[in-house]
């Protein structure tokens, strides 16, 4: 078990809001560290990197996307409306309480 998962048990006495805020802050730090390691891996130019615990393979693929701005230039407002899909998005926002400077 990782150190992060081991420390989750220590959070069980905190409120849901505080647990979420602490875990989100930790996840953001981890995401930045992961992005830095990804950049290092890509900079090696190697297709495969092998360590003692894992093998990482760099793969290149091609993705096609639709340029919606360009497509709108060719379509009428009615056509755009008939192709528009509306979905609900749920967002959690964190803000420290007054007097709290560090969430962790």
Give residue-wise pLDDT tens across range 75-85: 999 999 999 99
User: Per-residue pLDDT tens for 39-76?
Assistant: 999 999 999 999 999 999 999 999 999 999 999 999 99
Distance CA 71, CA 67 (A): 6
pTM: 0.68
Nearest to 57 by CA among 47, 66, 67: 47
Q: What are phi and psi of 50, to 5 degrees?
A: -115, 130
Distance CA 46, CA 69 (A): 37
User: Taking the CA of residue 98 as centre, how many other CA atoms within 13 Å lie in the half-sphere pointing to its CB?
Assistant: 0
**DSSP letter at 29?**
H
């Amino acid at each position: 078990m990782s150190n992060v998962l081991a420390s989750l048990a220590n959070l069980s006495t905190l409120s849901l809001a505080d647990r979420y805020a602490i875990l989100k802050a930790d996840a953001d730090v981890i995401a930045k560290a992961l992005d830095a390691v990804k950049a290092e891996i890509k900079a090696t130019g190697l297709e495969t990197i092998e360590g003692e615990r894992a093998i990482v393979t760099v793969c290149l693929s091609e993705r096609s996307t639709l340029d919606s701005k360009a497509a709108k230039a060719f379509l009428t407002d009615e056509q755009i409306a008939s192709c528009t899909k509306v979905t609900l998005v749920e967002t959690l926002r964190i803000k420290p309480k007054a007097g709290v400077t560090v969430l962790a």
